[in-house]
Structure 1
């Protein structure tokens, strides 16, 4: 059901681009949003349809990730250009709510993509993710930020 809605959304977006004759990214994004809105209006049961819930969450997640990425880049860059280093490195054990291989892999990669953090390993029982971080002032706060930020938002999209 989700795949067919997504493919319908893409097809309607391409039709929009073809009709308008403007082959730009902005026009495609506008067409995607317009077709999403049209599909949403014509849907018979919006509450049970996961597609209409996931797309806004996915867009929100992209903006959240970009915010975290910019924030981490600024923190690392500031530490590099100042004479005093503010690093407090550590390896942190993060308990996982993510169960599937896809969820764990996505979470580990998102953590690694953020400057100052690196996913090291997943325990054999897949219940713990080990992360090296440059700035660990408080371990519980670091774990809470990962769990309430990346993991919670990722699980909202994948489940």
Structure 2
């Protein structure tokens, strides 16, 4: 399974960088291996993959959310008058393990228009900056019904 993850991370690296050259492939593979080793070292025991279909659903949701939010941000910043209401949102967590919290925080940060700022000391809430926080409850509901639900289903 670690070899598959390294391959997946390498493909993601190639897609993000937009460079499909051999040196970039090698760099992506090395970064993937190092990242996986660091995660394994930090967690002590590797996370078990119990539901690979749910993990694929999480990846698919991320890609869809990435495209949708990138489009929303593009529309916002190309308007002559940017009518945004940025704000800080406190999100109550249902995920509990360090791995789950880190995964959720990173998925939020990687989605354009949102940024995970902090995790509270008791690990019960995320502090999130949203580019457009007109409806904080809608942002919370999107996270809860999307990323967090699938993380719990895949790794819970």
State the TM-score, normalizing by the size of structure 2: 0.67
Residue-pair matches, total: 113
- Report the 3-state secondary structure (helix = DSSP H, G, I; strand = E; otherwise coil) of the residue aligned with 2:51: helix
Which sections of structure 1, spanning at least 5 residues, go unmatched? 1-5, 11-49
Aligned ranges 1:5-154 → 2 under 5 Å: 6=1, 54-154=51-151
Which sections of structure 2, spanning at least 5 residues, go unmatched? 5-47
Structure with the greater alpha carbon radius of gyration? 1
Deviation at 1:103, TM superposition (A): 0.6
| Structure 1 residues 99-118: Cα deviation after superposition (integer angstroms, max 9, x where no partner) | 11111111101100000100
Output the CA distance in 2 between the equivalents of 1:146 and 1:59.
Answer: 17
Moved over 4 A (4+): none
Higher relative contact order (CA 8 A, sep 6+): 2
Output the CA distance in 2 between the equivalents of 1:133 and 1:92.
Answer: 7
